[in-house]
Structure 1
């Protein structure tokens, strides 16, 4: 596993097999994980990486049995993007926007995310992610049960405040929170200057 190959190499290795692209899609539909440069930025546009094997398609009956990880339809993909407001739900970037500090533009795609539901049941849900976040966050799980549990521990005021953030789909930081974030980024000498400035107010 982990080997990198190109379609040309694959065609040369199996000259009797036609429609290599379609054959690779069929393998993905049956649980085979074959990464492209959309999944792994270290690959070029012509390279693929073998990640994991799926159904043993050479065995009778296995070649027809699709797994639950089959490709989604274009209609379903559009519905997921619309529900996520065409934003990466990890970093918040929109398609075509340039990442901070660089020239790379964001590309959005639909990814599968394992979600731990109440009762410890694990389900797979779809989410919009940019290519950078999708690559960096593979294998993660979302603990919905834990989030709901912590939500139940909040006071009504906290729940109302949280509800406002959900309605706006963003969090407005207070002046104190913004100052804290800036303070944490200061060099040691400048942090001491801030501490000296605030110390008299404590007495």
Structure 2
């Protein structure tokens, strides 16, 4: 089935922007705000309508998610819902407001809830500084249902640790500095190529990754005061 023309003004700007990305830019390619302005002259909110596509499952990366991009570049990574089709432009989730962003960052202690890094802190083995953003995380509830909650996450965790490296020399030096008990413990893990985590360690790892709302429920279960 042929796609509608992105120049057809009977479609709204967001739908036309989606069609422009698919037919002109193409998945995997980058574009700039100036490209958007040139494609949609006289439409002041065109760039915002492009961003709105993220609420419909479209992956459009900026420098925060893709470090190879320039400051003013974006990359059309993957098409989401075909919003130009009738009934498909229903918004699946509202954009995060500035107030919500501040509240989530405060509740999460201004730390990435996936790896624990703070904004501005340098990743180990690199000169790259962490930036925090707000992500949506699905949390399975005790009732069996699922709830989407907001959580702070760093730029590296959002893209799966792309470009992460380990300094083998530093690692070997650290191994050499281990005491007898720690060295024996590590040797066992390396020998088996796996580590068995205790129940408490697994629970801590799961707790650390939870958004603030769900962490509060765990604190309540442990009879701890709210923070």
User: Could you say which residue in structure 1 is the equivalent of 2:75?
Assistant: 49
Q: CA RMSD in A?
A: 3.2
User: Could you say which residue in structure 1 is the equivalent of 2:38?
Assistant: 12
Rounded Cα–Cα distance in structure 2 between residues aligned with 1:100 and 1:185: 22
Deviates more, 1:6-15 or 1:106-115: 6-15
TM-score relative to the length of structure 1: 0.58
TM-score relative to the length of structure 2: 0.53
The size of the alignment, in residue pairs, is: 147
- Post-superposition CA distance 1:136-194 (Å, at most 9, x none): 17xxxxxxxxxxxxxxxxxxxxxxxxxxxxxxxxxxxxx787435654799xxxxxxxx
Q: CA deviation at 1:16?
A: 4.7
Instruction: Decide which of 148, 154, 165 is 1:124's aligned counterpart.
Output: 148
1:33 and 1:53 in contact (8 A); partners too = yes
**Residue 48 of structure 1: SS of its match in structure 2?**
strand
Instruction: Decide which of 95, 99, 102 is 2:123's aligned counterpart.
Output: 99
**Residue 136 of structure 1: SS of its match in structure 2?**
coil
Rounded Cα–Cα distance in structure 2 between residues aligned with 1:184 and 1:4: 47
Rounded Cα–Cα distance in structure 1 between residues aligned with 2:180 and 2:107: 33
Unmatched 5+ stretches in structure 1: 138-174, 187-203
Rounded Cα–Cα distance in structure 1 between residues aligned with 2:135 and 2:57: 15
Q: CA deviation at 1:10?
A: 2.4
Structure possessing the higher radius of gyration over alpha carbons: 1
2:56 and 2:80 in contact (8 A); partners too = no
Instruction: Decide which of 88, 91, 114 is 1:66's aligned counterpart.
Output: 91
2:104 and 2:151 in contact (8 A); partners too = yes
Distance 1:55 1:180, change over 3 A: farther
Q: CA deviation at 1:98?
A: 1.1
**Residue 5 of structure 1: SS of its match in structure 2?**
strand
Matches within 5 A, 1:33-48: 33-48=59-74
